[in-house]
Structure 1
C-alpha cells in the first residue's frame, strides 16, 4: 500500500514539483492549496494559508506518512517601507499556516508510526541580506519551530526537518528573474553559478519524506548553490 503524503502549496513552483516527484516514486499524494494543481492522480483540497480552516482536512486518510508545507512569501522592501501588516502576512503564511496544518493532521501522523514533516526556510535566515527583514524574520521563526517540534514529536517517531533554499526559479520569484540580465546577475551570486530549480528542492524533499532519511530530524538543510556557506572564486 502506498504512503499518503499531504503537500500544501502544490499548485505551482516547488510544491508542484514535489507533488509530481512523490507521485512518480509511488506515493499517494493529496494537495491542499488555493488552486488545483491539476496533476493526474493527485487528490485536491481547497485551503488558504491566509485563512486556514482545519475542517478541510477532516476526511484525510486515517494514517498520514508525511506533510510537506510549501507556501512562502518574497516581500523585499527597505525596513522603513515594510508595514506591520507586511510582517503579519509573512508570519501568517510562513509560520501560522504551517502550525495550523500540523495541528490539524497530527493525530494522522501519529497513526503512521513513523512520519515526516518537511518545512521551508530561506538562505536569508542565515546570512544577512538587505530588504529581507520580514521574510527572514518569519522564516527564522519557522526554523525554530522545526527544531522545537523535532524534539517534541520524536517520541512519536515523527521527524521534522527544514530546507533552506536560495533563489529558485518559480512563479513566486518571477520579478527577481524577469529579464536575462536579472537572471544572469542572480546566477553569478551563487558559487555554483546558477539559481535553483524546483527539481533541486523536490529531490531532497522526497528524500526527507522517505524512509531513506529515517535517522534525520531537527535539521535545517541549505540547498542554495553554496551561497549560505562558501564564497565563490
Structure 2
C-alpha cells in the first residue's frame, strides 16, 4: 500500500492562512494517517506500506513551514506505525523525495532560474524524475525486502544530507 497524496504551498508561516495550513495538513498528513489506519485494519496477512514525506522535512528550507510540518509528521507516523505493527508483519517505510519534476511542481521546474538554483543544491546536479522515486517505492514494497521497516529513504540527489562542492 502506498500513499502519494500531498500538495505544494511555498509560503512563510506568517503569510499562511489557517485554511491553507489545514488544506496542506489534510492533503499530506491526514491522508497518510488514514492509510496507516486502513493498513492496520485490513492487512491481516502482513505486507508493506510506503508513505511519502519530503526532503524538506529533513533540512530547513525557507518558506516551507507548512509542508515541512506535514511531511515531518509523516516521518514520525512512519516510525510509530513501524513499531506498532511489526508484530503483525506489516512493514512501514517512507520515501522523502527532493524536488521532483511532476505536474505539481511545474511552477518551480519551468522557471529557468529556480530550476538552476535547485539543481546546484543537489550533489548529483539534477532534479528528480518520478521514476527515481518509483524505483525506491517498488523496492520497499517487494516482499523479498521483508527485513526493512521504520526507515526513511531520502530520494533527493543528496539534498537533505550532503553539501556538494562548488561546480566551477
Q: Fold conserved (TM > 0.5)?
A: yes
Which category of TM-score, normalised to the shorter sequence, fits these structures? over 0.9
- Pairs aligned (count): 165
Q: Which structure carries more helix by proportion?
A: 2
Offset, 1:97: 1.4
2:6 equivalent in structure 1: 72
Counterpart of 1:104 (choices 38, 59, 81) is: 38
Unaligned stretches of 5+ residues in structure 1:
1-66
**2:144 matches 1:180:** no
Normalised by the length of structure 1, the TM-score is 0.68
CA RMSD of aligned residues (A): 1.3
The C-alpha deviation readout for 1:98-117, integer Å capped at 9, x for no partner, is 2223323533312xx23000
Normalised by the length of structure 2, the TM-score is 0.93
Counterparts in 2 of 1:81-230, with a 5 A limit? 81-110=15-44, 113-230=45-162
Rounded to whole Å, the distance in 2 between the matches of 1:104 and 1:223 is 26
Between structure 1 and structure 2, the one with the greater Rg is 1
The C-alpha deviation readout for 1:134-155, integer Å capped at 9, x for no partner, is 0000111111100000000001
Rounded to whole Å, the distance in 1 between the matches of 2:95 and 2:85 is 18
Offset, 1:190: 0.8
The structure, 1 or 2, with the larger RCO (C-alpha pairs under 8 Å, 6+ apart) is: 2
